[in-house]
Amino acid sequence: MINLNTLRRMGDSSAATYVRMVQYLIEKCLVFHMDRLECADALFKHANIQPVITTTVWKELEKENRDFFNTYFASMEQDGRVVDVDDNGCS
């Protein structure tokens, strides 16, 4: 299992590759309309990725793709999902 200390020791190239993999897996979670918590739980369960890593990458994706996530969360709300906008970082 990879934790933050392991990630720090991996070096820049390996760490960047790992972050890209986490980003890819988050994108797969988005296809299944998961919120951040559901995604972090799924990646921990199925890929042994620590939730803090998933959450950190997710938050960075939100910063870089604010319009997408605003639309994504609005769509989830229309589908009857309860979305805590503050918890998900977009407004």
pLDDT at 24: 96
Predicted pLDDT of residue 89? 47
Task: Give the chain as a DSSP string.
Answer: -B-HHHHHHT-HHHHHHHHHHHHHHHHHHHHTT--HHHHHHHHHHHH-B-HHHHHHHHHHHHHHTHHHHHHHHHHHHHTT----HHHHT--
With the CA atoms of 23, 29, 35 and 36 taken in that order, what torsion angle do they form, in degrees rounded to the nearest 10? -30
pLDDT digits (tens, 9 = 90+) for 27-85: 999 999 999 999 999 999 999 999 999 999 999 999 999 999 999 999 988 878 766 65
Q: Model confidence at 91, in pLDDT bands (50, 70, 90)?
A: very low
pLDDT tens digits for range 45-59 = 999 999 999 999 999
